[in-house]
Structure 1
Amino acid sequence: MARDRQERGEPMMAKAVGDLRIAVLGLGEAGGAIAKDLVAAGARVRGYDPAVPAPAGVTDTGSEAEAAEGSDLVLSVNSASAAMDALRAGLAGTSPGCLWADLNTAAPAVKRHLGQISGAAGIGFADVSLMAPVPGKGLRTPMLVSGTAATLLAMLLRPLGATLDVLDGPAGLAAERKLLRSVFYKGLAAAVIEALDAAQAAGCEDWLREHISDELTQADAATLGRLVDGSSRHAVRRVAEMQAAADMLDELDVPALITTASRDLLRLLSHR
């Protein structure tokens, strides 16, 4: 019955905060901060990390399974590459009614696979995306959550101070939203870094920093339309412009990774 309720995403009987048993796998910068906040909120927390000792108030354990044993909730906060192994190892210590939440930044397909493994083991699963850097925010880091047990996770963590937005969809949806945003944010950061490296080589870094700062400050809702529409409308001319920019970066001995990628994308747009 517990498994059926979890698979339907229905809430289970809430526990008092002091009775909530939570395991945190991965006690690095993010996991350690979240574990500390859970302890401060009154939860009973067990942790496991092969390289990092448990912070004060967290019961240190010797394995994923030992940390998960008797837990109501397991938070996997290690890395995308370790997420699958952590789940397989931790399941040996879980019992029916436990909820597994994966907070690692992984591809949607990985999250879906984790959810399938959890479901086959009778464990509820939530795909969690941390939507801001954890240091300084800890448990209050904004989170997107999807999966069969997303609603239950929100019921467990919100009383402890967590900020969660539940998406109505399967595991992988929260990861998809975060990674789509990452294409923009990380791509923007990469373009800024490449441009500033080139400006430094050209001897005008301060000028370009001021220019970029002004552009970002003045951006508004209409900026997005201008960027998208302008790129399509003027793609042919801008292909030549970005080729000239790439040639300039070559002369400045600065790798033109983002510049050439922009040129290639504009070339594709010119043929649409």
Structure 2
Amino acid sequence: MTGTIAVLGLGEAGGALARDLVAAGAAVRGYDPAVPATGGVVRTGSEADAVRGADLVLSVNSASAALRAFEAGLAGLREGAAWADLNTASPGAKRELAALAAEHRVPFADVAIMAPVPGRGLRVPMLATGPAADVLAATLNPLGAAVETMAGEAGLAAERKLLRSVFFKGMSAAVVEALHAARAAGCEDWLRRIVVAELTAADTSTVDRLVGGSYRHAVRRTAEMAAATEMLGELGVRADVAAAARDQLAHIADSPDR
């Protein structure tokens, strides 16, 4: 039997992690004001109740609730118990929470969940930084988790995750907008084949080509994306990404350093 782990937040992500921890042999205490504990997770009535006697606390609620959850849990937290914040928040927000934890002498880990939890559960890749990162990995990895640690202060894991999000979610938004417009133009299948071909053909030179082309051809591409933005308007499609690309290219074109 492993030590006791508290999970605050039993929604899609927290619930899956809690159930997998129970299946791996951990004693798990859970709290969520809206979602009842199931699957062998001990049901508790508050954050303070949930963390009472726990060796490790996983806060998996939301960025907006992370600070309140920590403050509410302090009353039940035993000395030496580690607090891991798995919520998606800015590096600054993570550092603020880490500073508060340090004031109360609570070992803290900033944890970035690097892929969707559904279908992976405890096996989802996680990156941890901060004073309690190694404790988190030493506790969870023997139970089947995939926690990678990185030296440095809290906030660095969040930074890595969100930098990746700028790329990946931005690309996703561009694909959604382009396919929506192509559907309105009656050629969605054609554009979908182009998207698939480009993604499939990507290699180590792709990033250099994308970045270099934007700087070398910024003036021409600004005009091109202005036309694309106008076209989407004619098709009745919101041009959020196209307009943003136009504005970014215009900024690059006007930059003296390009």
Which residue is 1:72 aligned to? 55
Match of 2:194 among 200, 211, 215: 211
1:134 correspondence with 2:117: yes
Look up the equivalent residue of 1:245 and give its one-letter code.
A
Which residue is 2:101 aligned to? 118
Cα displacement (A) at 1:91: 1.0
In 2, Cα distance between equivalents of 1:92 and 1:174: 27
The secondary structure found in structure 2 opposite 1:52 is coil
What value does the CA root-mean-square deviation take over the aligned residues? 0.7
In 2, Cα distance between equivalents of 1:161 and 1:56: 18
Which residue is 1:93 aligned to? 76
Moved over 2 A (4+): none
**Uncovered stretches (5+) of structure 2, i.e. residues with no partner:** none
Cα displacement (A) at 1:251: 0.5
Which residue is 2:248 aligned to? 265
Deviations, residues 112-142 of structure 1 (Å, cap 9, x unaligned): 1111111111110000000000011111100
Which residue is 2:238 aligned to? 255
Cα displacement (A) at 1:19: 3.9
In 1, Cα distance between equivalents of 2:230 and 2:14: 45
Which residue is 2:33 aligned to? 50
State the aligned residue count: 255
In 2, Cα distance between equivalents of 1:56 and 1:215: 44
Deviations, residues 185-204 of structure 1 (Å, cap 9, x unaligned): 00000000110111011111
Which residue is 2:23 aligned to? 40
1:195 correspondence with 2:178: yes
In 1, Cα distance between equivalents of 2:170 and 2:119: 24
In 2, Cα distance between equivalents of 1:49 and 1:26: 5
Higher relative contact order (CA 8 A, sep 6+): 1
1:22 correspondence with 2:5: yes
The secondary structure found in structure 1 opposite 2:79 is coil
In 1, Cα distance between equivalents of 2:74 and 2:204: 46
Cα displacement (A) at 1:63: 0.2
In 1, Cα distance between equivalents of 2:154 and 2:11: 24
TM-score by length of 1: 0.93
- Tell me whether 149-158 or 168-177 shows the greater mean CA deviation: 149-158
Cα displacement (A) at 1:235: 0.3
Look up the equivalent residue of 1:233 and give its one-letter code.
R
In 1, Cα distance between equivalents of 2:200 and 2:208: 17
Cα displacement (A) at 1:58: 0.6
In 2, Cα distance between equivalents of 1:92 and 1:220: 52
Deviations, residues 192-229 of structure 1 (Å, cap 9, x unaligned): 01101110111111110111111111111110000000
In 1, Cα distance between equivalents of 2:83 and 2:132: 9
Cα displacement (A) at 1:271: 2.1
TM-score by length of 2: 0.98
The secondary structure found in structure 2 opposite 1:221 is coil
Deviations, residues 69-92 of structure 1 (Å, cap 9, x unaligned): 010000000111111110110111
Match of 1:159 among 142, 159, 164: 142
Cα displacement (A) at 1:152: 1.3
In 2, Cα distance between equivalents of 1:22 and 1:232: 50
